[in-house]
Each structure stands twice: as C-alpha cells, then as structure tokens.
Structure 1
Amino acid sequence: MRKRFLPALLTAVSLIASAAPAKATAETPDTGFYSAPGPHSTVKLRGGPDHTFYYPDDLAVGTRYPILLWGNGTGATPDSYDSLLHHLASWGIVVAAANTKNSGSGSEMLSGGRFLIEENAREGSPFHDALDPAKIGASGHSQGGGGTIAAGSDPLVTVTAPVQPGPQGNVRALHGPSLFIAGQKDTTVPPIYVRSRYRYADDVAAVFAEIRNSDHYFSNGGGKHLKGALTAWFRYWLAGDQRAGTLFFGPRTSCGLCRDKASWSAVERNAKARQIR
C-alpha cells in the first residue's frame, strides 16, 4: 500500500518561520533579493514514496503552488540540503526530495512528482487542490544534478537546474529550459565539465553560471548565491515572477547574473536563452 499523509505515517514534521523578503531594487537586480527568505513559513515532513517534502504552511485549496523535484548528491540525504530546501519552500514552491543516496537515474525524483499529483487530487490530503501539476521543475546536486538531467527528459518536468551535475542523463533529451550551475573552484565536478554539458543543451534555452570561489560544497558563500539563483530560476519559470527573469535574460548589460561579477565568475547563455526578453 502506498503511504499517505496520515498522522500515523508521518515520520518527521517541522515548522520554520521565514522573515519577509527584502525589498526589491529594480535598478540592480541580483540574486541577493532571492537569497533572502521568502514570505512563507515552511513545513518539513516525511511520507509518500520515501520522500521528504518541504512546503509553505499556508497551503489552501485553489492556491496552485508549483512543484520542484530534488535529487541528492552521492551518499547525501535531503537533510544535507535542509536550509536550501526550506528556502525554496519559503518562496512558495513545494519541494519533493527523494530519500535516496543514489539519485542519478532520476526515477526516484519522478516518483515524488507523480505522488504529489495524486495527492493533489485526493480529498483529505494536505496538498488537495493546492498544486499545479503542469508546473513541475527538477533540480539536484552532483549525482542529483545528473538525475535532474535524466528526470528532465520526462514530459512531467518542464524546467531544470542541474547543480554541478554528474554524467547521468542526456542533455539533448531535455525539453525545457535549463540552468547549469558550476563552482569556480570545484575539483569534484570541474566547471569545464559542467560547461561542456551546458553546450550540448542547444535544443532548449540554457544558461551556464559559475559561482565565484565556490568548491563542490558551496564554501566561501557559494550556498547563498545558489539559493538566490535557484529560487529566481524556478520563480520565473514556474510562478511567473517576471522580476526573477531579469537575473538571467535580456541585454547582457542588464542581466543580473551577468553584471554581478563579485558573485559569478562566468555566465553564458545559448542562442535560445539570448532570445528571451
């Protein structure tokens, strides 16, 4: 029998209050605005097909929050990314993080998305009629980044953001926009490898962004920049947040990541991405 979100089946629940986000500064868009906490308090809970879910605590019928599938790095669990996943949920994104230490196939990630679609239709579920099954993204780190690319070939997923991705998945099978994130000082998945994967993704709008001074584990402030970039990327594509799009698109002189050289050591956009305004 598949697990449902009944009290007896919940293995962990937590509530985290989030401060209101900083005021936007339209003149200088950067990831700083989106690296601040969003307006929602968040809930963390385990259930479903061996997943950990992070979501706003004010889910209500008809609100239609987007879904993000998360894949962990090799040997890691969602707890390793707890701050990031709570952060995304604070911005109105329901995160399904598979409790697997080997997420490269993308299959466990996709099972979380399918479960949430079922829960959205099930009366009595905390997610009932509160999700948008047409707005599903995927992201993950390292092996989970490879799993993100693998999951991104499924029609369920409309947008992806592989972070320092491993070799799994075929970027030419992606059918939606993709943000490839590298760390300038990453020796586990070097930036040159991430850039090569990005350059093969020429059938979709793709962006390559390298976090200045960051290693594979987001040292030297890399975690803050990762939070901001992922939040903005998915807010734009899944929630229609037009300001978030200014971080990635438009003229290079106004593109937020392109201008923020203190945080990003390299930013590239392929031909399809440069056409987005």
Structure 2
Amino acid sequence: MASVIPGKALAPKALVAELSRPGPYPVLRGELALVGLPGVVFTPESGAGLPAVAFGHDWLQPAARYLGLLRHLASWGIVAAAPDTQRGPFGSHRALAHDLRTALEVCSGVRLGGTARGAAVSVDPGRLGVAGHGMGAGSAVLAAAVPAADTQVQAVGEPYWEVGRGVAVQAVATVALTDTRPSAVEAARAVHLPGLHLAFGKDLVSPPAAGAELLDTAWAGESSLRTLKKATHLGLLEGRHWSDVLLDGKGENATRTLVRALLTGFLLHRLNGDGRYAAAFDGGVKGTEVRTSEAGHRLED
C-alpha cells in the first residue's frame, strides 16, 4: 500500500478548485497497440513508482471520448490507460475486464516512454486502480473481483472468479455504472477494496437506484456513493459520436469538470496515500449528495 503523504486535508471546495485544473506535470501519449492491445495510455513526462489506473469505456463508445480525462489524470502524476476493445453492440463485459487487467499489467511491467535525453516512466505494481463509465464501470468491478494469480480462491458457483493476470488492484472507481453479465453488483460482494461510485442524478440509461445504489449496498469494502444531481448518462463524454442518438443525455462541461476532480482526488488519496485529497471520497461537495460506509457498516451523510 502507498505510504501516507503528510499535509492538511483540503476542504471539499478547495479540493475541487485545485483538482479541476490540469496538474503540474507535462503529459505524453502512447498507444497500447504497440504491445498488442488496442487503446491509449497517457503518462507524466517522467517519474518512478507512479500510480496507474485502467479506465473502461461505456457501451459503443471509443476511448477517444475520454482523452481529456486520461490526460488530466496524467497531468497529476497518474498513468492512465484505456483499452479500445469490445466496442460492438454485443461487446463482452468479461473480456473488457480482462483487457483492463492486461492494461495494468503492461503499465506496471514495462518502462513507458523515455528518450535518449529523458528517463522512462515506471509504475509501482502496488499502486494500481481500475475505473470506468457505464458498461466500463461494471467491467472495472469485474476486474477488481478477480484475484491475482498468486492469491486466487476459486469459489464454486461464482462465475466471475478466474485467474488474474498477476496484478493486484488497490482501488476502484465507477461512473454512472450499468450492470453487466456476469453481474457487477454480485461481484461487488467480493471486492474488499475502497470504492468510489459516482451516480448521475438525471441518468435515464442507468438511474442511480438501478445501478450505483445497488452496487454501493453490495460493496464489501469501504465505499462512497456520490450522486451528481444534474448530470445525465452521457455527461462525462467528450465530442460527438453516432451512438449519441441511441442514448439519453449529452456531454456536459460541469459534469466532466467535477468527475475529473473527484476521480483524481480519490486516486491520489487511495493509491498515493495523499491525505490532502480525502474529501474526494467523503466530503460534502456542492451539487452532489454523498453516502459513505466502512466495510459492512452503512453510514448516511
């Protein structure tokens, strides 16, 4: 686990103001296709022992609709990778979960970037997270429910259990989750990790009561459910895509800004041990409602 970084915790308003802006690090972009997995990866220009997150896309969506989010995370020192797979109408949720773990294995197993004049970036295999939007959020939960190969426990009748790819996930974040096959809600009962779950209050594709609230209730570890009251299902997305006519909502600057700040703060807090950003998990943020719980103990805020 990451060591705790000393410093006074930021108030929620100050946290959002700070983390909604780009971070201090220049950013590089690479292609996961170079190692056989379609997708993109963003890294700070340099750094050693960095945290990393693999981000899953929503149904039908290309990874290109999340580039601003990925770049933002990298600007704050977090390596961010997004597989561009399983984009068809019948994309496999289990396969996308597998690809998220593969992306983490790539990021933590090789040195990224670097030139003759500059050092490559390295990722600490003890600082790995998974996240996603919609279908990708469900796949992120499935990925987190899979134990690493050296810690596998096979349970009869648990279809989401399978041998991991040698990575140990430390934190999970979901955005406007839609349930998957196998069920992410059922898989959550086996995820004993910190989980940040962002629900969108005006989401007609996956209303909070049908997605994130059920997930939060089932979550085995410490959990935070935060509802962005005015956000729609597509609020996080960037640019336009033909699938917009099939889904409710539209891209929203306010939603993208708030999600970037909260997700960045959660990952810095949980993967870097930076207590200054704890309010991303449980603080009262304007325009949202938050419910937090310790493992097995539901608390209301």
TM over 0.5: yes
Select the residue among 241, 266, 275 that pairs with 1:242. Answer: 275
Moved more, 50-59 or 34-43: 50-59
Which stretches of structure 1, 4 residues or more, deviate above 6 A after TM superposition? 123-127
Query: Superposed, which structure 2 residues align to 1:60-79 within 5 Å?
Result: 63-79=48-64
CA apart distance, 1:230: 0.3
Q: Normalising by structure 2, what TM-score?
A: 0.72
CA contact 1:163–1:180 (8 Å) conserved in 2: yes
How many percent of aligned residue pairs carry the same amino acid?
24
| In 2: Cα distance, 1:269 partner to 1:244 partner | 16
- SS, match of residue 237 in structure 1: helix
Aligned length: 238
CA apart distance, 1:127: 8.5
Cα-to-partner distance string for 1:125-173 (whole Å, 9 max, x where unaligned): 9986721011100000000000110011134211000111121231112
Query: Superposed, which structure 2 residues align to 1:76-155 within 5 Å?
Result: 76-100=61-85, 101=87, 102=91, 104-105=93-94, 106-120=97-111, 130-154=122-146, 155=148
Partner of 1:211 in structure 2? 228
Select the residue among 207, 210, 227 that pairs with 1:190. Answer: 207
| In 1: Cα distance, 2:144 partner to 2:115 partner | 30
Q: Normalising by structure 1, what TM-score?
A: 0.78
CA contact 1:152–1:175 (8 Å) conserved in 2: no
CA apart distance, 1:120: 3.9
Query: In angstroms, what is the RMSD of aligned CA positions?
Result: 2.7
- RCO higher in structure (CA 8 A, sep ≥6): 2
| In 2: Cα distance, 1:76 partner to 1:28 partner | 31
| In 2: Cα distance, 1:26 partner to 1:187 partner | 32
Q: What amino acid is the match of 2:266?
A: W
Q: What amino acid is the match of 2:256?
A: G
The reply to whether residue 50 of structure 1 matches residue 2 of structure 2 is no
CA apart distance, 1:244: 0.5
CA apart distance, 1:43: 1.2
Q: What amino acid is the match of 1:116?
A: C
Partner of 1:166 in structure 2? 178
CA contact 2:263–2:280 (8 Å) conserved in 1: no
CA contact 1:104–1:145 (8 Å) conserved in 2: no
The reply to whether residue 269 of structure 1 matches residue 257 of structure 2 is no
**Unmatched 5+ residue regions in structure 1?**
1-23, 250-254
Moved more, 185-194 or 96-105: 96-105
| In 2: Cα distance, 1:76 partner to 1:40 partner | 28
Moved more, 222-231 or 47-56: 47-56
Q: Rate the CA distance shift 1:103–1:57 in 2: closer, same or farther, 3 A.
A: farther
- SS, match of residue 224 in structure 2: strand
Select the residue among 152, 162, 175 that pairs with 2:192. Answer: 175
